[in-house]
Chains A and B, each alone.
Chain A
Amino acid sequence: MIEIKNVYKSFENKDVLKDISAIFLEGQTNLIIGRSGSGKTVLLKSIVGLHEIDRGQILYDGRDFTHMPPKARKKLRQEMGMVFQGGALFDSMTVEENVRFPLDMFTEMSSAEKQKQVDFCLERVNIVDANKLYPSEISGGMKKRVAIARAIALNPKYLFCDEPNSGLDPETSLVIDALIHQITVDLKITTIVNTHDMNSVMEIGDNIVFISDGALCWTGNRHEILHTDNQTLKEFVFANKQYQKIRDEKIDEE
């Protein structure tokens, strides 16, 4: 479980995050949603420590990440896996080398053990026959899947995904969403996904945190979102007529 308490972050006197508190649960796909520029990415990067917060606390299973000494923080980071918006695969390495990289850096496994783990992770994300290809030779969807494989190589306790569906077609987005959700449930990890894709919200939103203008606006799950009275959230989620229709149908069914 990850808990954030009263988090503030500003850049050059501009407040980007204002007093955000939330709980992200283990074994669930936790979503951070919000408009572009609302502070989602800054919040996610603050949670993983890529941005230092100005005030507040970030707790990983009760461990205070904010005030942790560098060595302990480094150790905790090995329990994290992150999928970046563009995949962030290392261009100079093949698919296989990308997935093996964290194993090379942090384990004393034998070559055969590493290969077994690499094959397992690539199989887990349904990548076959692409082991020797370079990131420039594979599609956007495959890059995301390889990035997920790399993120789970060290069996992390916490998985972070920044806009995993950006730039992908709707079908591939569904595949990626299902993959993230399945991995979260199977490995019982705490997953935080940063998204503004409403398909993801409706498909995998076990726990949703909606932020607007850098402040926490609403929390709930994908079922509760249908009945929300929060006007800002309604304008954001149901801006599309298609989703308004889906909401009305689901409410009618209930």
Chain B
Amino acid sequence: MNFFYHAGRYFAMLARVFQKPEKHRIFALQIFKEIESLGLNSVGIVVIISVFMGGIITLQVAYNMANPFLPVYLIGLGNRDTLILEFSSTIMGLIMAGKIGSNITSEIGSMKVTEQIDSLEIMGINSANHLVLPKIIAVVFIFPFLFILSVFFGLIGGLMVGPAVGAVTATDYLNGVQYGFTPYYVTFSIIKTLFFGFLVASIPAYFGYHVEGGAFEVGSASTRAVVTTNIMILVFDLILTQILFR
């Protein structure tokens, strides 16, 4: 019952979110601000995590394929496909749910408990539209770029770690990265990131928008938002993989 209660309120909020903005110029400015604060400020963490992720996947693939009958270039191929299909889309989505999601919940939640949202409503401004829509657009827009960046730096991580520990030569690794490339994998993952971006912005916004109480409740709402977003990302990952890979 609790699930249906929250789902109902979530869709009711979305119905208010997707309405015509009050002033288009201010709305456009807000989108750029959100792209900067939620997207560009996440580039650093994406790069760091991706380099380590690529390095670790390369090591794991290398240790698990230590077989003379398997060609060494498969290490590069394994790293590339793992990054494209799951790690740079889904795992990065989960990490961003923590970073961006908690940011959105605490920002909107703090505005709620300090009556800033009431203040917008009193002025005759649709607060859900004014606060949430720019965040959704910004995150959905920036996620595919973060995905591409993550794949790139993940491959760089593999190229740094693989040859450094003697698991694979740089030439073999790069041959593997270029071997049997399926462009559809990228399309598939970009479609996933669009869905994940929507979830990462809208679910935490929902939890922030409906918080009641004070600082403690804002903290609890942030935790619930991140957990719920993570679960929904995994559910959507399963559904989209089933639909798009049939």
**Contact surface of A with B, Cβ cutoff 8 Å:** 45, 48, 50, 74-75, 77-78, 80-82, 84-86, 88-91, 101-102, 104-106, 160
A102 touches B123 (CB 8 A): yes
B114 touches A86 (CB 8 A): yes
Residue of B23, B111, B119, B123 near A78 (CB, 8 A) is B123
A105 touches B122 (CB 8 A): no
Given A104-B26, A105-B22, A105-B26: A88 touches B123 (CB 8 Å cut-off) = no
Best-surrounded residue of A82, A88, A90, A101 (most CB of chain B within 10 A): A88
Chain B neighbourhood of A77, CB < 8 A: 121-124
The CA-CA distance from A106 to B115 in the complex, in Å, is 21
A105 touches B115 (CB 8 A): no
Which 10 pairs across A and B sit closest by C-beta, in order of nearness?
A77-B124, A88-B115, A88-B119, A84-B115, A74-B124, A82-B122, A88-B116, A78-B124, A102-B123, A105-B22
The CA-CA distance from A61 to B23 in the complex, in Å, is 29
Min CB distance, B209 to chain A, in Å?
A: 14
Tell me the number of A-to-B contacts counted with CB atoms below 8 Å: 50
The count of residues in chain B whose C-beta lies closer than 8 Å to any C-beta of chain A is 15
Chain A neighbourhood of B23, CB < 8 A: 104-105
For A89, the closest partner residue in chain B by CB is B116
Q: List 30 interface pairs A-B (beta carbons < 8 Å), by A numbering.
A: A45-B118, A48-B122, A50-B118, A75-B124, A77-B121, A77-B123, A78-B123, A81-B122, A82-B118, A82-B119, A82-B122, A84-B115, A84-B118, A84-B119, A86-B114, A86-B115, A88-B114, A88-B115, A88-B118, A88-B119, A90-B116, A91-B111, A91-B114, A104-B23, A104-B26, A105-B22, A105-B26, A105-B125, A106-B124, A160-B122
